């Protein structure tokens, strides 16, 4: 007969790495403008690029990590670039003017990293104070409408228009945006400045999905081509006789994330005409780094399911059947579980579990249909275009 070695192949989805601040670079530039960012072209009211006396485009300033000297009336720009561990970056600017009693706006913290699970933000908040100075004197500051908040983030302005203006940024579990920038307009006197506040989420890696328990299920049937109904399976090994000739088995795997996955049902024993019956069945388990190449002769098998981990990802299983004659038979080892987060299980469905060769040399049935399937977590079973190995015994 044809027998299929059922293997559940599980795809491990690693948890997303945490996103944090890698480094911060502070640069300075001198400009004659307090509104045009240095390093950009200077244009007229119609958007035309202005040229110097030699016909070269005019820039608003050159950036350097060295603090420059400014003359009266010139603007000192400070650019802070924050680089994150996921390869992204954000930029914020601070500008002040060298002159009689210039205004200086300072945020107590221009960036913040919020803690997050492997899926979304963990509810938390941070407070940012706004300090405004005219010359050496602290003056009131008025915070305008803050923009740039993603879903799951809110801001609350406090003590607005006073010497102690501040705003609080809060996040909830609804926030999944990795990083970004808030724009904060701040008015001092009759001048309005824009400050930037950058944020990021520090994601924890997704927890590995281990196995809590494995339950062996058994049932008998009168035919090798008809699979028993689910309600017929129990944890007790039933007796085989001349009518109930086929012994079926599958495993119920209880994962640590709460999901429950059933392996494919398959025949592990047949009634013998010589009166031989099954006395007992022992299950053996092996946690391994290998997804292929495991045999009964591989060392390390135990009767107790072994824990799986990020290193020992694959849990193998086989059964040893003891007959009343004292003989033993063993099934081929198969994978019944894999350590991971969002497991994808692959399997085959067949129209008949076996093909019988009768006394005159005819096969019954004459053909079988095999369909490949896959299932992610507890989602609906889907058709799968893949390759499986079918062996004859």
Return the SS3 of 231: helix
DSSP string, 332-368: PPEEEEE-BSS-EEEEEEES-S--EE-TTS-EESS--
| pLDDT of res. 350 | 60
- Cα 93 from chain centroid (whole Å): 34
- Helix, strand and coil percent figures for the chain, each rounded to 5: 0, 50, 50
Picking from 267, 308, 365, the residue whose alpha carbon sits closest to that of residue 4 is: 267
Phi, psi of 385 (to 5 degrees): -95, 95
The number of residues making up the chain comes to: 393
Tokens describing residue 100: 């009689």
Q: What per-residue confidence (pLDDT) applies to 165?
A: 94
Specify burial of residue 204 (Cβ count, 10 A radius: 0-12, 13-18, 19+). Answer: middle
- Dist CA 104 CA 102 (whole Å): 7
What DSSP string runs through 171-228?
E-TT----EEEEEEEEEETTEEEEEEEEEEEEEPPPPPB-EEEEEEEEEEES-TTSPP
What is the C-alpha to C-alpha distance for residues 252 and 232, in angstroms, rounded to an integer? 15
**What is the pLDDT, as a whole number, of residue 276?**
67
pLDDT of res. 186: 92
In this structure, which CATH number among 1.10.3720.10, 2.60.40.1120, 3.30.420.10, 2.60.40.10 belongs to the domain 21-203? Answer: 2.60.40.10
In order, the DSSP letters of 275-340 are: S--EEEEEEEEEEES-SS---TTSTT-BSSPPP--SSS-EEEEEEEEEETTS-EEEPPPEEEEE-B
Q: Does residue 232 have a cis bond before it (omega within 30 degrees)?
A: no
As a whole number of angstroms, the distance between CA 157 and CA 231 comes to 62
How far does Cα 292 stand from its chain's mean position? 26
> By three-state DSSP, how is residue 266 classified?
strand
Residue 156: beta bridge partners? Answer: 168
The tokens of 293 are what? Answer: 């190449």
What are the CA-CA distances from residue 112 to residues 21, 150, 283, 294, 365 (Å)? Answer: 9, 15, 53, 49, 68
Q: Where are the domains of the chain?
A: 2-14+208-392, 21-203
User: Half-sphere exposure of 83 toward its Cβ, with a 13 Å CA cutoff?
Assistant: 6
Whether the CB-CB separation of 314 and 288 falls below 8 Å is answered with yes
Angle at 322 between CA 300 and CA 332, to 5 degrees: 50
Token code pair at residue 226: 């008809």
Task: Please give the chain's pLDDT, 393 residues, in tens.
Answer: 333 333 333 333 333 444 556 677 778 888 877 777 777 667 777 777 777 777 776 666 678 888 777 777 777 788 888 777 667 777 777 776 665 556 778 888 787 888 887 778 889 999 998 988 776 678 899 999 999 999 999 999 999 999 999 999 999 999 999 888 999 999 988 888 888 888 888 776 555 567 788 899 999 998 777 789 889 999 988 888 878 888 888 889 887 777 788 888 888 877 766 666 677 788 899 999 888 899 999 999 998 888 887 788 888 989 888 877 788 888 888 888 777 644 455 555 666 545 555 566 676 667 767 777 665 544 556 776 655 555 544
Return the pLDDT at 65.
81
Residues forming beta bridges with residue 105, ordered by sequence position: 132
């Amino acid at each position: 007969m044809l027998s299929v070695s059922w293997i559940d192949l599980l795809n491990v989805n690693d948890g997303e790495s945490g996103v944090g601040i890698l480094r911060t670079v502070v640069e300075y530039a001198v400009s004659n403008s307090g509104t045009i960012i240095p390093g950009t072209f200077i244009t007229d009211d119609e958007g035309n690029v202005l040229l110097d006396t030699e016909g070269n485009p005019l820039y608003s300033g050159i950036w350097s990590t060295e603090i420059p000297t400014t003359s009266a009336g010139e603007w000192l720009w400070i650019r802070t670039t924050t680089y994150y561990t996921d390869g992204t970056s954000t930029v914020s600017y601070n500008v002040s003017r060298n002159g009689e009693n210039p205004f200086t706006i300072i945020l107590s913290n221009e960036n913040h990293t919020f803690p997050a699970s492997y899926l979304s933000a963990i509810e938390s908040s941070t407070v940012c104070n706004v300090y405004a100075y005219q010359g050496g004197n602290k003056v009131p500051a008025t915070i305008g409408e803050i923009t740039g908040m993603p879903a799951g983030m809110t801001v609350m302005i406090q003590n607005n228009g006073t010497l102690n203006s501040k705003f609080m940024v809060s996040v909830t579990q609804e926030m999944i945006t990795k990083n970004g920038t808030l724009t904060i307009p701040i008015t001092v006197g009759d001048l309005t400045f824009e400050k930037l506040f950058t944020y990021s989420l520090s994601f924890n890696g997704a927890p590995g999905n281990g196995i809590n328990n494995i339950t062996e299920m058994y049932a008998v049937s009168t035919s090798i081509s008809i699979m028993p109904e689910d309600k017929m399976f129990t944890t007790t090994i039933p007796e085989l006789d001349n009518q109930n000739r086929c012994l079926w088995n599958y495993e119920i795997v209880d994962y640590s994330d709460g999901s429950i996955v059933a392996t494919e049902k398959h025949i592990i024993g047949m009634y013998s005409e010589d009166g031989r019956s099954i006395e007992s069945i022992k299950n053996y388990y092996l946690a391994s780094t290998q997804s292929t190449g495991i045999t009964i002769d591989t060392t390390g098998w135990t009767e107790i399911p072994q824990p799986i981990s990020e290193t020992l990802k694959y849990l193998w299983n086989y059964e040893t059947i003891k007959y009343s004659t004292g003989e033993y038979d063993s099934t081929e080892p198969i994978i019944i579980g894999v350590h991971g987060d969002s497991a994808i299980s692959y399997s085959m469905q067949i129209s008949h579990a076996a093909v019988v060769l009768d006394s005159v040399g005819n096969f019954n049935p004459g053909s079988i249909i095999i369909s490949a399937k896959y299932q992610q977590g507890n989602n609906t079973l889907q058709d799968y275009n893949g390759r499986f190995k079918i062996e004859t015994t």
